[in-house]
Each structure stands twice: as structure tokens, then as C-alpha cells.
Structure 1
């Protein structure tokens, strides 16, 4: 059975906002609420790939403490820019 776009968006929002590390809940959940509704399929795929990673790694990458895998850089840069905008 194929997942509808609406179901996929709900699933991604849930996964983004209920991670296990509160910081990542806030960062990824906020990005999801702001951008997922207007995201194209490629963006949804990229965001889903980010969500598949461990929270500790994601936080280190988003906060600039570690270099992310090359494949995740474009999506993480988008998330990081939004995070930095909100913080300032």
C-alpha cells in the first residue's frame, strides 16, 4: 500500500517532534512545522534521510560541532539556517 502525502507529512512531523533529545525535538519539529507543507518530494526525501540519523549525531552536525555526511549537507544547511534565524 502506498502512503498518501498527507500521511507522510503527519508521520514526518511526528518523527521530527518526538526524537528523544529535547533540543532535536525543538530544532527538527520547528523546521517540520514551518516547511513540510510546502516541501516537494525531493525535500521530503532529504528530510526523511536526516530523521533516520541518531539524535546525538544530528545535534553535533546542526550545531557545527562535527562534519555531517556529504549527502546530508544540503538539508542540514537548510535546517541550520532556520535554527540560527530563530535563535538570533
Structure 2
């Protein structure tokens, strides 16, 4: 059990760094707010989803989806993106 916890924590630390260095200040802020509020409580599946957003989605698309300016494709329209969008519209 301890190994699983430390693996999850290591993964969260890596995502914290990568999520805070997206390439644009606007996305860094959106990701930062989300990570401050939710990163420590995300499930492994949600971490997978968050990691896909970081690794696969170009900055411009992410910003449009996260701010609700455009609808995300189904594969990215997840609970994680909705949590990010809710914070960006708060």
C-alpha cells in the first residue's frame, strides 16, 4: 500500500510541475487554480485524464475549452475539464 501511495504522490508532483508550465500564462493560471483545489484528491482515472489534457492538447485549444469559448471533443469533455471550466468561470 505504501508503494501505491508514494507512486501516486510522485505522479501528482510531476503533474504539478508540468501543469504549471503549459507555455502560456493564461493556461498556467487555469491549471494552477485547478491543481491547488483538486490535484491532491484526484483518482487515478482523473489523473490519467488530466495528464492527457497536459500532454495531448495544444495550448490554444485547451484555453478555449477551459473557458467555455468552444466545446471540447468528446474524448476530452470529461469531469476534469468541467472542474477546470467551473474554476475558470467562477
TM-score tier, shorter chain, comes to 0.7 to 0.9
RMSD: 1.4
Rounded to whole Å, the distance in 1 between the matches of 2:19 and 2:32 is 5
Moved over 4 A (4+): none
SS at 1:71 equivalent: coil
TM-score, length of structure 1 as denominator length: 0.85
Structure 2 equivalent of residue 58 of structure 1: 62
Contact 2:67 2:88 survives alignment (8 Å)? no
Q: Choose 44-53 or 64-73, whichever is displaced more.
A: 64-73
Give the gaps of 5 or more residues in structure 1.
Answer: none
Unaligned runs of 5+ in 2: 1-5
- Aligned pairs, number: 83
Highest relative contact order (Cα 8 Å, sep 6+), 1 or 2? 2
